[in-house]
Structure 1
Amino acid sequence: MNALAATSRNFKQAAKLLGLDSKLEKSLLIPFREIKVECTIPKDDGTLASYVGFRVQHDNARGPMKGGIRYHHEVDPDEVNALAQLMTWKTAVANIPYGGAKGGIGCSPGELSISELERLTRVFTQKIHDLIGIHTDVPAPDMGTNSQTMAWILDEYSKFHGYSPAVVTGKPVDLGGSLGRDAATGRGVLFATEALLAEHGKSIAGQRFVIQGFGNVGSWAAQLITEAGGKVIAISDVTGAVKNSNGLDIPKLMKHSAENRGIKGFDGGDAIDPRSLLTEECDVLIPAALGGVINKDNANDIKAKYIIEAANHPTDPEADEILSKKGVLILPDILANSGGVTVSYFEWVQNIQGFMWDEEKVNSELRTYMQRGFRDVKEMCRSHHCDLRMGAFTLGVNRVARATVLRGWES
């Protein structure tokens, strides 16, 4: 089942639990706007190359649409649609005044030079600048993009609309980015995990963690979990996987990864098959890479007691059912990885106010939002007698549905 089908299935199940009117249900599912543009740039060697860019603006009932822009060779309309829809429910679960959007360009960023990436970003911005904006649609970094990408978008957008730092989040701090933004998604994963474990009388300290993915989210989660007393026993990235039952030295692994562009060859543990990582014996499994990695083929072999979805849509619905029967508790992506968009909201607020917060305030507010989100999801679980995923979906869908009706959707 692809990401769009799976996300729509979860939405429809939540709509059924909420008893939504069928016309309202259909209205909430259909994106507000879908954008597809051609981006042709001169390469460094003088040849021309064309790429397809997408932006799906899913819903704006609760505020400006919000979502990342990813550069990846597998970007396609279905994936962008699914991620835009997930952002709508995610921002509602976090209870921040945004809707949902997502964008991307079908390219392999590792094969492009810095100057080619800049040209591609600027052409993409030229094609969509009149459809994004501070109170319309606010992009952010995602897979294959970073704060530099956002700086280019900000600069190109400002050529048309005047200097507008709030048009993107995840910017460099020197251009109005927020302190604490780099670590935000990983720190949010930590706070969400703490909340789930506390519900069962446990803490981070003493738990064994396995993390799939060692990019921004996975590396920050590993570092913060280790600092909180957790033991990260296995990690993988695109180059390989490493395991140490006594706990990996995360600072040393981060240094190795930075110097060697991946964790392959790290001497602080044993190399293992990356495909076996998800089924390693552990207490908490954190998929922090691509979607759809937990499926019906490997769900039966997963030994973790808890799964924290740091990636977007890492678990297929079929795997959900298998894991639920096994008693595995899954903290869904639209809650678990909402730390990034929450601090993006803080950044947007700071830009609009023209007043910068210190990092301690950012982290303190993030903890408050993540803990409140968990409590709100648990309340929906109790009200609708459902698991955490449906608790999160019913919470998000209900908030968007209420805003839609209050604004007069039939008028």
Structure 2
Amino acid sequence: MTLSYVHPTTDSPWGTYLAQVDRVLPYLGPLARWGETLKRPKRSLIVDVPIELDNGTIAHFEGYRVQHSLTRGPGKGGVRYHPDVTLEEVMALSAWMSIKNAAVNLPYGGAKGGIRVDPKKLSQKELEKLTRRYTSEIGLIIGPHQDIPAPDVNTNAQIMAWMMDTYSMNVGATATGVVTGKPIHLGGSLGRVKATGRGVFVTGREAARRIGLNLEGARVAVQGFGNVGSSAAELFGQAGAKIVAVQDHTGTIINPKGLDLATLVPHAKATGGVAGFAEAEKIDDEAFWDVACDIVIPAALENQITAARAARLKARLVLEGANGPTGQAADDVLADRGILVVPDVICNAGGVTVSYFEWVQDFSSFFWTEDEINVKLDKIMVGALKNIWDTADRHKISLRTATFAVACERILIARQERGLYP
């Protein structure tokens, strides 16, 4: 039987992932015989999520949980609430989680979840109902040793608390380790909220050092100003860089002299976005890709950097804070132009790394300080990037292909050693 998702017909996130796997197979030697394993999710679950709205009507939403690989450990990956969520997108995101977890050598497989919904149209009570019903529907395949969800687009610590509570009620015992990204007093980890942004900064700092880019005075443009984009921007600002442009769902603003993050961050939180910030000029959204800068951080959704946009970028360095923000054709354009890309599967791995710390702390009931968390995170990220960079230099390949080479080798060695059952 030929599965439709194995051969996508469009330039979709799943198609991009499959092309990335095809590029890495020549570097896997005898392990390449297991390569088809990487192209087929282990398990894909589609669920109906019915809830009663505040007005008494019944609404149905479609939810997903995909476990791409469980070869190296429990599934690990976020849950997003977005009106454009599709099964194919969640498949790609789960596969990228497999690569990401293996790239930083965490004892996890890859998974991802989502509900096709616009959460902004739901009340807080409706959002809770949606989350609890979704958790119950996917409860068959999640668990502290099976698959551990986390926050993603439009989900947060409160939603993780509802998921943890629902799962715990269903199994009859408090199971804090079933999700990560929880509130601190429910077993969450210090440093988790800003961990992904910190990972973007750490890998960006190391990459800038390698290409001779001084962060002092470096110009940074950030797409997406949620936890990832804002946290990364603040850390680059603290290192002396200037944030010259920010784009989010409300619009695009620029200030060549540097945006004042001390006032921009509170403004965005208070108003729901960067639009209307008095100390900046508003520009057309498409003009974001023409801003003169040294570093671009796409930290929104996938497929943002197209080949056409890649041809216009004026940056020296692209740090992928989002998952899959650069299309395959765009990757080639950036490489031809000598623009270095630190790929998502290592650049934004800080979040899942601290999620791993949270999971470990939940099992031991012993919690580290935020300084201890940050030191451990920096050490893992720097070490993982060095290993990937050495692989890239050895094979004369891009950082993305090198990251896939390191990760796929780890996944397929585990697959080979485990064998096939029965």
Q: Give the shorter-chain TM-score range.
A: over 0.9
Say if 2:31 and 2:413, in contact at 8 Å, map to a contact too.
no
In structure 1, distance between residues paired with 2:140 and 2:178: 12
Write the mapping of 1:172-211 to structure 2, written as runs, cut at 5 A: 172-211=183-222
Say if 2:21 and 2:38, in contact at 8 Å, map to a contact too.
no
How far apart are residue 165 of structure 1 and its match?
0.3
5+ long unaligned stretches in structure 1: none
The 3-state SS of whatever aligns with 1:350 is helix
Picking from 237, 243, 260, the partner of 1:226 is: 237
Picking from 19, 23, 29, the partner of 1:19 is: 29
Say if 1:194 and 1:203, in contact at 8 Å, map to a contact too.
no
Picking from 398, 407, 410, the partner of 2:418 is: 407
How far apart are residue 251 of structure 1 and its match?
1.4
Partner residue, 1:60: 70
- Tell which deviates more after alignment, 193-202 or 303-312: 193-202
In structure 2, distance between residues paired with 1:89 and 1:260: 36
Picking from 124, 136, 157, the partner of 2:134 is: 124
Say if 1:73 and 1:106, in contact at 8 Å, map to a contact too.
yes
How far apart are residue 163 of structure 1 and its match?
0.5
1:327 counterpart letter in structure 2: G
Q: In the superposition, relative to structure 1, how do residues 62 and 240 fare at CA in structure 2: closer, same or farther (>3 Å)? A: same
- Tell which deviates more after alignment, 27-36 or 327-336: 27-36
Partner residue, 2:3: none
Partner residue, 2:87: 77
Partner residue, 2:4: none
Aligned alpha-carbon RMSD (Å):
1.1
1:157 is the counterpart of 2:167: yes
Deviation per CA, 1:323-355: give whole Å up to 9, x if none: 111110000000100000000000000001110
Write the mapping of 1:258-273 to structure 2, written as runs, cut at 5 A: 258-273=269-284
2:82 counterpart letter in structure 1: H
Deviation per CA, 1:220-259: give whole Å up to 9, x if none: 1111111111111110111111111111001100111122
In structure 1, distance between residues paired with 2:195 and 2:12: 28
2:80 counterpart letter in structure 1: R
1:93 is the counterpart of 2:95: no
How far apart are residue 380 of structure 1 and its match?
1.3
In structure 2, distance between residues paired with 1:410 and 1:8: 25
1:41 is the counterpart of 2:60: no
How far apart are residue 384 of structure 1 and its match?
2.0
Deviation per CA, 1:133-174: give whole Å up to 9, x if none: 111100000001100000000000001221000000000001
Say if 2:26 and 2:32, in contact at 8 Å, map to a contact too.
no
How far apart are residue 262 of structure 1 and its match?
1.1
Partner residue, 1:380: 391
Picking from 109, 112, 124, the partner of 1:114 is: 124
The 3-state SS of whatever aligns with 2:66 is strand
How far apart are residue 276 of structure 1 and its match?
1.2
Deviation per CA, 1:196-234: give whole Å up to 9, x if none: 011123342221100011111111111111111111111
Q: In the superposition, relative to structure 1, how do residues 38 and 310 fare at CA in structure 2: closer, same or farther (>3 Å)? A: same
How far apart are residue 366 of structure 1 and its match?
0.6
Deviation per CA, 1:385-411: give whole Å up to 9, x if none: 201110111111111011111112376
Deviation per CA, 1:306-335: give whole Å up to 9, x if none: 100001101001011111111100000001
1:290 is the counterpart of 2:312: no
Write the mapping of 1:210-359 to structure 2, written as runs, cut at 5 A: 210-359=221-370
Deviation per CA, 1:77-110: give whole Å up to 9, x if none: 1100000000000000111110100000000000
How far apart are residue 121 of structure 1 and its match?
0.6
In structure 1, distance between residues paired with 2:31 and 2:105: 23
Deviation per CA, 1:249-273: give whole Å up to 9, x if none: 0110011112211111111111111
1:244 counterpart letter in structure 2: N
- Tell which deviates more after alignment, 184-193 or 9-18: 9-18
How far apart are residue 23 of structure 1 and its match?
4.5
1:169 counterpart letter in structure 2: T
2:204 counterpart letter in structure 1: T
1:328 counterpart letter in structure 2: I
In structure 2, distance between residues paired with 1:17 and 1:291: 26
Say if 1:212 and 1:278, in contact at 8 Å, map to a contact too.
no
TM-score under structure 2 normalisation? Answer: 0.96
In structure 2, distance between residues paired with 1:163 and 1:256: 38
In structure 2, distance between residues paired with 1:19 and 1:329: 26
- Tell which deviates more after alignment, 267-276 or 86-95: 267-276
Say if 1:140 and 1:170, in contact at 8 Å, map to a contact too.
yes
Say if 1:211 and 1:222, in contact at 8 Å, map to a contact too.
yes
1:124 counterpart letter in structure 2: Y
1:97 counterpart letter in structure 2: P
In structure 2, distance between residues paired with 1:279 and 1:2: 25
The 3-state SS of whatever aligns with 1:235 is strand
Q: In the superposition, relative to structure 1, how do residues 360 and 22 fare at CA in structure 2: closer, same or farther (>3 Å)? A: closer
In structure 2, distance between residues paired with 1:7 and 1:264: 33
Corresponding pairs, count: 411
Write the mapping of 1:363-378 to structure 2, written as runs, cut at 5 A: 363-378=374-389
Partner residue, 2:17: 7
Partner residue, 2:40: 30
How far apart are residue 16 of structure 1 and its match?
2.3
Q: Identity rate of aligned residues, in percent?
A: 42
Say if 1:288 and 1:310, in contact at 8 Å, map to a contact too.
yes
In structure 2, distance between residues paired with 1:125 and 1:359: 29
Say if 1:173 and 1:179, in contact at 8 Å, map to a contact too.
yes
In structure 2, distance between residues paired with 1:163 and 1:20: 45
The 3-state SS of whatever aligns with 1:297 is helix
